[in-house]
């Protein structure tokens, strides 16, 4: 999620219409309580027909009245804390602001957001001040009236207290709770007003399939669910162009795809093939955007190491302008893809896959008896790729073969993660070696891509009448760096234990 406009840390309490207000000044740390203010708040909450936001404890509302009228999106952080994003009311009460939509698109997908609850609150606010008159917290005495707009009609009325921190700390909430408990006031059973207003209106989503503990299938599905959750977490970050978000989403996608491929013998459904194809599609688009950023930063760094005398012509400006243009185009394609029906179908497929995984009977066997053999097969594939690269003499084909080695090393590394719960020492050892191979050949591959980029940019600059001397220097530097990375890879091969080669 993007940086929140505010963090909401609060606790709610159920009270009756006759419950007396607590002695707020007696709360530890409170030195005075301001005269109360009354606000009339009118809010409409939005969700999909299947209440996907409510199922994830997310609230999206448009509220008038009070001192924070506008659109609010609240996302859970912990039992007591939610992060909150704000947008102005706007002129259309049905049009959810784009910035808020971006944060929930990965859950909402192609579904329509419509009003599900109308909630009116008569709020009496008491401001709790500290020793230096700092605003510690807001105590809100709320009289609530709700109408459920989706499904069967339901109208409710209740009273509740909210204690929300401003500059105060958690111990203040604990002290207040002790005071409330002494009056037999307890925490609310509902996480939010919306949850209470919806009542039984939230569809019961089937629980994910329960798998026998320590089976091969259980370990695989646990990993897949983690990768799915990471993909969902990073999606809104990519939409906001947060640093490293594209990389993180790309890794989550690659891990899911690799796991489905590596452990395909445990999976019965042919949908796995379609899933790998679609994950490869979005992974390729993520990679295109990410690689341009990497190369732009790499070439900018190389230029900084050159003396002024060696930089002839507007080389930096040419490189920066073209790669920035290319990056913007690639990110536009990425964002368009993230809003496409194809991507949303992929997310639906992933959800269905991890909720009710199509596993073969072999997945019911003990993980310790099944997974190591599958991982060994992936190790053998890595050494086959290494052998093929060693036998490839043509330079361009050799570079491609080394890239295949890198991809095979990455798959070994990801497979080792699944093995970790049952073979921790072997898994860590495998992952370490695979990462060394992956990182070393990653440097070699970046050098290849950098040289290809320089060749393209220098040709364009030549047509503009520029002197291409500096491009040549940068190209030579990248060639040296690529050869150095390949030499380190060759040394690394000699250090790989024989026991691993014989897997």
Query: Which long-range contacts link 73-77 to residues 24+ away (Cβ below 8 Å)?
Result: 73/100, 73/103, 73/104, 74/8, 74/192, 75/1, 75/4, 75/103, 76/191, 77/7
Which has the closest alpha carbon to 162: 369, 14, 62, 371?
14
Domain ranges of the chain: 6-201, 211-365, 367-503
Residue 236 has pLDDT above 80, yes or no: yes
Q: Which band of pLDDT confidence, cut at 50, 70 and 90, is reported for residue 232?
A: very high
Percentage of residues in the chain having pLDDT higher than 90: 88
Q: How far is CA 436 from CA 127, 229, 256, 375, 488, in A?
A: 57, 27, 21, 18, 10
The C-alpha atoms of residue 395 and residue 391 are separated, in whole angstroms, by 11
Tell how strand 32-33 and strand 37-47 pair up.
unpaired
Residue that is written with structure tokens 């994003």 in the block: 85
Write the DSSP symbol of residue 111. P
The C-alpha atoms of residue 80 and residue 9 are separated, in whole angstroms, by 5
Structure-token pair, residue 247? 């990389």
Residue 201 has pLDDT above 50, yes or no: yes
Q: What is the pLDDT of residues 361-370, one digit of tens each?
A: 999 999 999 9
> Stretch 133-143: mean pLDDT, rounded?
98
Which has the closest alpha carbon to 195: 232, 233, 148, 152?
148
Residue 502 has pLDDT above 60, yes or no: no
Structure-token pair, residue 34? 């301001």
Q: What is the pLDDT of residues 74-105, one digit of tens each?
A: 999 888 889 999 999 999 999 999 999 999 99
Residue that is written with structure tokens 């012509």 in the block: 313
Residue 205 has pLDDT above 70, yes or no: no
Residue 62 dihedral angles phi and psi, to the nearest 5°: -120, 120
Q: Which band of pLDDT confidence, cut at 50, 70 and 90, is reported for residue 209?
A: low
The C-alpha atoms of residue 385 and residue 391 are separated, in whole angstroms, by 10
Reduced 3-state DSSP string for 421-444: CCCHHHHHHHHHHHHHHHHHHHHH
> Stretch 245-272: mean pLDDT, rounded?
94
Q: How far is CA 302 from CA 163, 293, 342, 443, 487, in A?
A: 55, 14, 39, 14, 21
Structure-token pair, residue 173? 């909430």
> What pLDDT sits at residue 187?
94
> What pLDDT sits at residue 260?
96
Instruction: For the domain made up of 6-201, give the CATH fold.
Output: Hypothetical Protein Pfu-838710-001 (2.40.320)
Angle separating helix axes 216-239 and 367-391, nearest 10 degrees: 60
Q: Which band of pLDDT confidence, cut at 50, 70 and 90, is reported for residue 254?
A: very high
Q: Is the pTM of this model over 0.85?
A: yes
Which CATH number is associated with domain 211-365?
1.40.20.10
Structure-token pair, residue 10? 């609060």
The C-alpha atoms of residue 247 and residue 228 are separated, in whole angstroms, by 15
Q: What is the dihedral of CA 166, 167, 170, 174, to 10 degrees?
A: -70
> What pLDDT sits at residue 200?
82
End-to-end CA distance of the chain: 42
> Stretch 312-318: mean pLDDT, rounded?
94
In 94-169, which residue ranges form alpha helices assigned H by DSSP? 98-108
215: three-class secondary structure by DSSP: strand
Residue 210 has pLDDT above 50, yes or no: yes
Q: Please, what is the Cα angle at 79 between 44 and 206, to 5 degrees? A: 75
Q: What is the pLDDT of residues 265-284, one digit of tens each?
A: 999 877 789 999 999 999 99
Residue 85 dihedral angles phi and psi, to the nearest 5°: -115, 140
158: three-class secondary structure by DSSP: strand
Q: Which band of pLDDT confidence, cut at 50, 70 and 90, is reported for residue 235?
A: very high
Residue 3 has pLDDT above 80, yes or no: no
The C-alpha atoms of residue 471 and residue 272 are separated, in whole angstroms, by 45
* Environment class of 354 (CB within 10 Å of its CB; exposed 0-12, middle 13-18, buried 19+): buried
> What pLDDT sits at residue 1?
45
Residue 441 has pLDDT above 80, yes or no: yes
> What pLDDT sits at residue 278?
97
The C-alpha atoms of residue 62 and residue 48 are separated, in whole angstroms, by 15
Which has the closest alpha carbon to 415: 456, 361, 446, 379?
379
> What pLDDT sits at residue 206?
62
Residue 214 has pLDDT above 60, yes or no: yes
> What pLDDT sits at residue 7?
83
Residue 237 has pLDDT above 70, yes or no: yes
The C-alpha atoms of residue 161 and residue 140 are separated, in whole angstroms, by 6
> Contact at 8 Å (CB) between 266 and 216?
yes
Q: Between 400 and 190, where is the model more confident? A: 400
Residue that is written with structure tokens 């503009």 in the block: 464
40: three-class secondary structure by DSSP: strand
Percentage of residues in the chain having pLDDT higher than 70: 96
> Stretch 48-56: mean pLDDT, rounded?
94
């Amino acid at each position: 999620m993007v940086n929140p406009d505010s963090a909401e840390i609060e606790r709610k309490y159920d009270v009756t219409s006759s419950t007396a207000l607590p002695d707020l000044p007696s709360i530890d740390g409170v030195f005075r309580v301001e005269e109360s203010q009354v606000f009339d708040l009118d809010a409409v909450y939005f969700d999909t027909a299947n209440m996907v936001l409510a199922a994830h404890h997310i609230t999206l509302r448009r509220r008038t009245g009070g001192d924070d009228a506008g659109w609010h999106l609240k996302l859970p952080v912990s039992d007591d804390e939610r992060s909150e994003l704000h947008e102005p009311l706007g002129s259309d009460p049905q049009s959810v602001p784009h910035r808020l939509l971006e944060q929930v698109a990965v859950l909402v997908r192609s579904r329509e957001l419509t009003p599900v609850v109308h909630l009116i609150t008569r709020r009496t606010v008491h401001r709790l001040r500290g020793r230096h008159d700092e605003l510690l917290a807001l105590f809100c005495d709320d009289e609530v009236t709700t109408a459920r707009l989706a499904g069967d009609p339901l109208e409710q009325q209740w009273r509740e207290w909210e204690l929300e921190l401003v500059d105060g700390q958690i111990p203040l909430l604990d002290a207040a709770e002790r005071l409330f408990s002494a009056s037999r006031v307890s925490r609310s059973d509902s996480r939010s007003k919306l949850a209470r207003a919806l009542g039984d209106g939230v569809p019961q989503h089937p629980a994910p399939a329960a798998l026998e503990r320590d089976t091969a299938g259980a370990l695989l599905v646990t990993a897949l669910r983690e990768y799915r959750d990471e993909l969902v977490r990073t999606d809104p970050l990519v939409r906001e162009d947060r640093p490293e978000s594209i990389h993180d989403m790309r890794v989550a996608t690659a891990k899911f795809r690799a796991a489905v491929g590596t452990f395909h013998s445990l999976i019965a459904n042919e949908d796995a093939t379609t899933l790998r194809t679609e994950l490869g599609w979005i992974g390729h688009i993520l990679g295109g955007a990410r690689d341009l950023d990497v190369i732009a930063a790499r070439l900018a760094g190389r230029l900084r190491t050159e003396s002024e005398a060696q930089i002839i012509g507007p080389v930096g400006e040419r490189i920066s302008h073209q790669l920035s243009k290319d990056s913007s185009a690639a990110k536009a394609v990425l964002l368009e893809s993230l809003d496409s029906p194809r991507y949303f179908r992929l997310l639906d497929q992933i959800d269905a896959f991890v909720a009710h995984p199509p596993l073969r009977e072999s997945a019911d066997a003990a993980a310790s008896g099944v997974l190591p053999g599958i991982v060994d097969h992936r190790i053998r594939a890595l050494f086959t790729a290494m052998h093929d690269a060693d036998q490839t003499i043509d330079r361009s084909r050799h570079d491609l073969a080394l890239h295949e080695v890198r991809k095979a090393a990455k798959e070994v590394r990801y497979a080792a993660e699944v093995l970790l719960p049952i073979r921790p020492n072997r898994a860590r050892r495998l992952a370490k070696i695979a990462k060394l191979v992956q990182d070393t050949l990653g440097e070699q591959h970046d050098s290849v891509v950098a040289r290809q980029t320089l060749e393209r940019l220098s040709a364009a600059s030549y047509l503009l009448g520029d002197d291409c001397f500096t491009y040549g220097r940068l190209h030579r530097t990248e060639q040296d760096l690529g050869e150095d990375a390949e030499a380190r890879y060759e040394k690394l091969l000699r250090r790989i234990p024989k026991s691993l080669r014989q897997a």
